[in-house]
């Protein structure tokens, strides 16, 4: 795919949704409520290493749940996809991202590594002999995917840590049901920390491009994730990447994606590129409205939906 075609589609998507005002910032984490809701950016990183961006693509924001899709690669490399499926699950919950009911319905089984319960359980599975070592390995994985170190947004981290009662409840439920594999409070803390990594839209597209390439960073050329685990990670993203919006996203786009309540959305176009968009206002499922619309527009314009086949072109 040619870079100038991607750039053109990106410009059109940006112009089309630049003035969209719908939705509201996440407010249950106070630090996110105050982020400028006008911010809007789109980025793409192709497997040839071309980086294409528009809007506020150098602005840092909290990665939040998009981190779940990347930390998953570390636990999966440690345990293998089969074992991770047995220990956490790989199905859609059909409930919200922090649903306690979903846990209770399945006897404490998180079902997906991409909802809060499953992601906290997945953090506890990262092999390490101490919380510090686990954090070092997690940070290293994020750095390799991004091609540069990520800094924590301290304000987000402390805001989320101070308002963490719901996730704390989930963590202790996991413990009581046997799905917590390290110290409970340590796992909760490391989960909260990884959600507080500051990223730019460009960073996210870069990280997504590593999944598009089968686990290698297109710029550094480093094989970061075991290639054999990438299809399972993408399958988890298809099932639960946009929470209760995952089905409608799949209807529209047919591609794996992951959102975060910080306003970011990534989308992986296997064999082609990583895409990311950012805008803070969310819908009721916790997905950025403008980011989602912009990516959907680009995917349609560039005919990237793999579920759409056009017999005349075959
Ligand atoms: N850190 C957020 C939480 O645990 C992540 C949720 C999200 O981005 O969907 O609630």
pLDDT of residue 73: 98
Confidence at residue 312, expressed as pLDDT on a 0 to 100 scale: 67
Question: What pLDDT, on a 0 to 100 scale, did the predictor assign at position 127?
Answer: 98
The torsion angles phi and psi of 278, rounded to 5 degrees, stand at -145, 130
Q: Residue 260 CA: which ligand 1 atom is closest?
A: 8
pLDDT at 309: 79
pLDDT tens digits, one per residue of 174-216: 999 999 999 999 999 999 999 999 999 999 999 999 999 999 9
Mind listing the domains of the chain with CATH numbers? 3-56+203-219+245-304 (3.40.710.10), 66-195 (3.40.710.10)
Mean pLDDT of 116-127: 98
Q: How many CB atoms lie within 10 A of CB 60?
A: 17
Residue 156 has pLDDT above 60, yes or no: yes
CA distances from 234 to 88, 92, 172, 240 (A): 16, 13, 28, 10
pLDDT of residue 134: 98
d(CA 273, CA 268): 7
Q: Please give the distance, rounded to the nearest whole angstrom, from the Cα atom of residue 265 to the centre of ligand 1.
A: 13
β pairing state of 51-55 and 61-62? unpaired
pLDDT of residue 184: 98
User: Closest ligand 1 atom to the C-alpha of 119?
Assistant: 4
In this prediction, residue 310 carries a pLDDT of 72
Could you tell me which residues are beta bridge partners of residue 278? 41, 264
Task: Tell me what the mean pLDDT of segment 272-299 comes to.
Answer: 97
Ligand 1 binding pocket mutation candidate from 189, 261, 283 (most atoms within 8 A of CB): 261
For the CA of 262, the closest atom of ligand 1 is 8
Give the residue, out of 98, 114, 242, 243, with the most ligand 1 atoms within 8 A of its beta carbon, to mutate for a pocket test. Answer: 98
**What residue ranges in the chain does DSSP mark as E strands?**
41-46, 51-55, 61-62, 198-199, 257-259, 264-269, 273-278
Give the chain's mean pLDDT.
96
Over residues 49-63, the mean pLDDT reads: 97
79 Cα: distance to centroid of ligand 1 (angstroms): 24
Atom number, ligand 1, closest to the C-alpha of residue 65: 8
Confidence at residue 272, expressed as pLDDT on a 0 to 100 scale: 98
Nearest atom in ligand 1 to 97's CA: 9
Mean pLDDT calculated for residue range 293-306: 97
Instruction: Judge whether residue 314 has pLDDT over 80.
Output: no
Would you state the pLDDT for residue 153? 97
* Residues 75 and 126: beta-carbon distance below 8 Å: yes
Report residue 313's pLDDT band, with 50, 70 and 90 as the boundaries.
Answer: low
* Residue whose C-alpha is closest to residue 239's, from 103, 71, 118: 118
Taking the centre of ligand 1 as the mean of its atom positions, its distance from the CA of residue 4, in whole angstroms, is: 35
CB 109 within 8 A of CB 91: no
User: Is it the case that residue 254 has pLDDT exceeding 90?
Assistant: yes
Residue with CA at minimum distance from ligand 1 atom 6:
65
- Which atom in ligand 1 lies closest to the alpha carbon of residue 167? 4
pLDDT above 90: percentage of residues in the chain: 96
Instruction: Give residues (CB < 6 A) around ligand 1.
Output: 64-65, 97-98, 116, 160, 167, 195, 260-261, 286
């Amino acid at each position: 795919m040619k870079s100038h075609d991607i750039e053109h589609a990106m410009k059109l998507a940006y112009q089309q949704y630049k003035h969209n005002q719908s939705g509201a910032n996440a407010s249950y984490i106070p630090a996110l409520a105050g982020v400028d809701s006008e911010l809007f950016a789109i980025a793409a990183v192709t497997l040839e290493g071309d980086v294409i961006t528009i809007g506020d693509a150098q602005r840092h924001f909290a990665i939040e749940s998009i981190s779940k899709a990347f930390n998953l690669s570390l636990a999966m490399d440690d345990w293998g996809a089969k074992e991770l499926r047995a220990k956490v699950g790989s199905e859609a919950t059909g409930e919200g991202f922090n649903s306690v009911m979903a846990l209770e319905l399945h006897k404490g089984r998180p079902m997906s590594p991409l909802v809060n319960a499953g992601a906290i359980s997945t953090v506890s599975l990262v092999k390490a002999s101490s919380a510090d070592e686990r954090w070092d390995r997690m940070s290293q994985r994020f750095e390799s995917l991004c091609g540069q170190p990520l800094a924590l947004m301290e304000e987000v981290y402390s805001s989320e840590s101070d308002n963490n009662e719901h996730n704390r409840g989930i963590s202790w439920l996991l413990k009581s049901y046997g799905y917590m594999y390290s110290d409970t409070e340590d796992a909760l803390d490391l989960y909260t920390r990884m959600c507080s990594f500051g990223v730019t839209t460009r960073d996210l597209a870069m990280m997504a491009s590593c999944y598009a390439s089968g686990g290698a960073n297109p710029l550094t050329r480093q094989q970061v994730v075991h290639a054999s685990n990438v299809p399972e990670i993408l399958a988890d993203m298809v099932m639960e990447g946009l929470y209760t919006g995952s089905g409608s996203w799949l209807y529209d786009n047919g591609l794996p994606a992951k959102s975060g309540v910080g306003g970011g959305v990534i989308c992986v176009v296997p064999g082609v590129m990583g895409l990311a968009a950012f805008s803070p206002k969310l819908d009721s499922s916790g997905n950025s409205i403008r980011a989602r619309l912009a990516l959907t527009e680009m995917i349609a314009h560039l005919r990237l939906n793999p579920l759409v086949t056009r017999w005349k072109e075959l």
